[in-house]
Structure 1
Amino acid sequence: MASDSDDKLPPQGRFNRLRKLAGLSMQVGTDVLKSGAKRLAGGAPDLLSKEAAEKLVSTLGELKGAAMKLGQAVSMDPDLLTPEVRQVLARLQNQAPAMSYAQVARVVEEELGAPPEALFREFSQAPLAAASLGQVHRAVLEDGRAVAVKVQYPGIDASLAHDMENLGLVVKTVSKASRLMDGSAYFQEFRDELLLELDYRREASLAEGFARSVASRPELCVPGVIASHSAKRVLTLELLEGLTLKDWLPTEPSNEERFRVARQLILATYVPFFSAGEIHADPHPGNFMVMPDGRLGLLDFGSIKRFSPRFVETNQRMLSLTMRMEPLDILAMSREVGFTVELPDAEAEELIAEVLRIAGRPMRLPDYDYATCEINRDMRNHFSRNAPRFLRIKPPAEAVMFFRSTGGLAQNLRLIGARGDFRAVFLEVTDLPT
């Protein structure tokens, strides 16, 4: 058992964390440059080597917080990384270095007034998962119910604040250099949402609300909250049994199974958005569980984002018109949802229409194969080719978390690689006849 000065806790101090990231950037940056040279020579399709990926996992797993969340996002992109490298980075989704049981017991007692042994019939000292803000332990209540207990890392609030200060300085510097590069509103949105994740009482409330939002879909499962065993830094939920998406994919499921799970992921994203104006904005594969009874279990509710009615209604109308294959005034609807446009109308409309054309491929075809999907690659190329012009089309700040969720969904669907009638699934989302 580790000592009280647990070396698995996230490093403290703004400059200490910045120093570790700077060292990592130099190491990984050199690897990326070498990879780029190999690409030009016709070899090495991967952006990172396995050795560089191990360095990322080691350092970001130690730092936890926002740095680790960034690594989780990178691990999801199938177009930038080889399967071998993605498998290494996927450990950041729920396999960070764990804090000692002594630290876990201390946090539980500080928050709930008694040690785990007094509150639970059983409490596993080894964690089920260790993520960016806390780690999860399996336990059993006195009434025999199996539960998952999430315990926050001591000091992670300060670590997260320091990460945001460091990132905020970068954003501020870039914004001062050019008005077109001003990302302060988007950074503020991301910062505010991330810091809210530290309050597990809020997460408990969001979990209960999300359960109501998907209640009409029995194929989706949200674990119940055990309020008597939850507090600001401890959250106890019903334990869901099954394999997380990242552990399920290596079992080589059939296309029928892949399509079923892909459909469930689409429903889990859009049903709560259109029915209750909220979305799960942390969609990495460790947050979804394929359960033995065929349901999709949803995990981690700290990043549930709630949107303005205008944003939801306009997006719903846009999707409905798209699915009906009816014309839509894309520029007017973009402004209606909160975009500001500093380009000539025809030019802006052409750029936005191409985004929708690329993203909407699975919605137009009765047979779409996500295994060969090139949406992410083509979208990245479209933005790269037109970067100066896209800087003059600014989405509303609340769109940051929407894009995080829907972009993550697209990456998950690409990883699952199912083939089938996805148009029918999106028609189902919009309540339109197939």
Structure 2
Amino acid sequence: MSVNKPTYSEPLDAIKTSAFDRRLSIAKASLNIGKRWATNSAFGLFKSKEEKNLQKQAFMREQAQYLVIELGKLKGSVVKIGQMLALYGEHFLPPEITEALQTLNNQTTAFAYPIIQSALINELGEKIHEFDIEPTPIGTASLAQVHKAVHKATGETVVFKVQYPNIADAVDSDLDLFRQLLKVTNAVPQTRQLDEWFEEIRDLLHHEVNYLLEVDTTELFYQRLAGDERYAVPKIWREYSTARVLCMSFEAGISIMNEQMFALSQDRRNAIGQASIEIMLREIFEWGDMQTDPNFGNYLIRLAEDSNTKNSHLTNIDKLVLLDFGAIRQFDDNLLKIAKDLLIAGFYHDREKMAQAIEMAGQFYPFFTNINPQIKADMVDLFLLASEPFSLPSQNPDMPTHVLDDKGYYLWDKSDLHNRVIKLASKSATSKAFSVPPKELMFISRKFIGAYTFMTVLKAKTQAEYLIQPFVR
């Protein structure tokens, strides 16, 4: 769960969780959108083609903003669906829609504590009296909010991640309602790709609202990283966790955007960056379990001087705190093999090996077989560029000189890699021969984009040998 700091001005004291209320809200929004569309079309009858295109673009942006406002009122899985489409819908949604949906991350209004308290009592009964719970949340999200608490018997500080009432039961109907709302905008083509993505989102949401699955995954990562002091994973309190309430240790830390981060030495920032990239690579290439939400809110940094809290032993290094294990997606061995082959080709900046890896991927994903030779050649260029930070400078003549310092360290904040990748990718995406990539590839792509952004903000420096060597043996 990517958690945002909540706004406290007007906590909501009601949530529309019944199917009737939510359908009524969507129906009203659909009716208003339909009326707006008809009116806009009427006013455009006598305009030139160029004027109509400009009018349509402006109107689409207005419609998208209205759509987001209406979705934000509902909270719950409707908002989560919008956030997922904003993240992965760039290939099948108009840019005006995806841009507007991205603002759903700002819907952080907290719900009044009586609603949360009622949910806690419903799930835990008398057990909640074993804690002193802070009524003001320390974070909110589309499906739940987080409250800090102290266990009276032990004095340990924990957090309760409390799912909003009836949200889990509304997932399927919310998906149908969201599709209906998109349909009446006349802006989104009703394609097979859209159908597939809605089914993917359905699976992800059903997984994410079942906190017992998150309990298992959190404990799995806790065990995997227990011997590595660079990471902190919350400890689960199973006795106080259910399918709708998650209880875990409170893990202190600061956001990567905190000004304290920018005062750290280069070596400390490099170490944090190394740890963040390593965990991503292990998720994809070693474990096959990947956190699919690259939001910065899913990570905190516990600075070395702040590591002597009640819930952690004193250390001399900065820790990367991993908070969210609800949006985990598992990949099969075939995809892991493809990903590793692509990484190895990128490490050596080997164009022939990269082309072979893409060709081999076609055995499992027809997308790679069906694309025409020009698009395939462009894809080789794209993957080689995207793997630039993980390539050996001695093997990569295409690497710009300004992205390396005098010791051969890659300068993430100087590289402008994200924009270069986007520019090259858009060249293929605008081709009539281009089709929507496999969902798995888009998940991994977004994961890397999130990691690139993290490293750029951190102004970290890395060396490919230390990053990739363990994964290319």
Same fold (TM over 0.5): yes
Residue of structure 2 equivalent to 1:13: 22
Match of 1:332 among 359, 366, 374: 359
Could you say what secondary structure the match of 1:261 adopts? helix
Greater CA deviation, 327-336 or 236-245?
327-336
Where do residues 24-423 of structure 1 align in structure 2 (5 Å cutoff)? Answer: 60=72, 63-67=75-79, 70=82, 92=105, 96-114=108-126, 116=128, 118-120=129-131, 122-141=132-151, 142-157=153-168, 160-169=171-180, 182-215=193-226, 217-247=228-258, 252-293=263-304, 294-326=318-350, 327-328=352-353, 329-336=356-363, 338-341=365-368, 343=370, 346-364=373-391, 365=393, 366-389=408-431, 392-416=434-458, 418-423=459-464
| Aligned-residue offset at 1:201 | 0.8
Distance 1:325 1:372, change over 3 A: closer
Distance 1:341 1:153, change over 3 A: same
| Aligned-residue offset at 1:66 | 4.7
Could you say what secondary structure the match of 2:216 adopts? helix
Q: Does the 8 Å CA contact 2:359/2:369 hold for their aligned counterparts?
A: no
| Aligned-residue offset at 1:283 | 1.8
Name the amino acid aligned to 1:245. I
Greater CA deviation, 194-203 or 64-73?
64-73
| Aligned-residue offset at 1:291 | 0.8
Q: Does the 8 Å CA contact 2:110/2:140 hold for their aligned counterparts?
A: yes
Q: Does the 8 Å CA contact 2:343/2:472 hold for their aligned counterparts?
A: no
Name the amino acid aligned to 1:13. R
Q: Partners of 1:166 and 1:421 in 2: how far apart?
A: 46
Give the total of aligned pairs. 393
Distance 1:175 1:100, change over 3 A: closer
Residue of structure 2 equivalent to 1:34: none
Q: Partners of 1:22 and 1:262 in 2: how far apart?
A: 49
Could you say what secondary structure the match of 1:182 adopts? helix
Q: Does the 8 Å CA contact 1:220/1:268 hold for their aligned counterparts?
A: no
| Aligned-residue offset at 1:237 | 0.9
Name the amino acid aligned to 1:430. F
Q: Partners of 1:108 and 1:371 in 2: how far apart?
A: 44
Q: Partners of 2:73 and 2:296 in 1: how far apart?
A: 17
Distance 1:172 1:348, change over 3 A: farther
Alignment deviations for residues 84-137 of structure 1 (CA, whole Å, 9 cap, x no partner): xx9xx89947x8111111111111111112263x132x2111111111211111
Q: Partners of 1:248 and 1:166 in 2: how far apart?
A: 42
Q: Partners of 1:61 and 1:254 in 2: how far apart?
A: 43
Name the amino acid aligned to 2:144. G
| Aligned-residue offset at 1:147 | 0.9
Q: Does the 8 Å CA contact 1:140/1:146 hold for their aligned counterparts?
A: yes
Could you say what secondary structure the match of 1:290 adopts? strand
Could you say what secondary structure the match of 1:98 adopts? strand
Residue of structure 2 equivalent to 1:38: none
TM-score, normalising length from structure 2? 0.70
Q: Partners of 1:344 and 1:397 in 2: how far apart?
A: 16
| Aligned-residue offset at 1:176 | 11
Q: Partners of 1:22 and 1:360 in 2: how far apart?
A: 47
Name the amino acid aligned to 1:357. L
Greater CA deviation, 206-215 or 169-178?
169-178
Q: Does the 8 Å CA contact 1:269/1:279 hold for their aligned counterparts?
A: yes
Could you say what secondary structure the match of 1:296 adopts? strand
Q: Partners of 2:115 and 2:338 in 1: how far apart?
A: 47
Distance 1:313 1:331, change over 3 A: closer
Q: Partners of 2:382 and 2:149 in 1: how far apart?
A: 46
Could you say what secondary structure the match of 1:236 adopts? strand
Greater CA deviation, 124-133 or 317-326?
317-326
Alignment deviations for residues 55-97 of structure 1 (CA, whole Å, 9 cap, x no partner): 979974863545357559979xxxxxxxxxx9xx89947x811
Distance 1:403 1:191, change over 3 A: farther
Could you say what secondary structure the match of 2:248 adopts? strand
| Aligned-residue offset at 1:222 | 1.2
Structure 1: tracts of 5 or more residues without a match:
27-47, 76-85
Alignment deviations for residues 376-413 of structure 1 (CA, whole Å, 9 cap, x no partner): 32333233332254764554333343333223222222
Could you say what secondary structure the match of 1:398 adopts? helix
Q: Partners of 2:71 and 2:195 in 1: how far apart?
A: 27
Greater CA deviation, 159-168 or 400-409?
159-168
Root-mean-square deviation (CA), in Å? 4.2
Q: Does the 8 Å CA contact 2:237/2:248 hold for their aligned counterparts?
A: yes
TM-score, normalising length from structure 1? 0.76
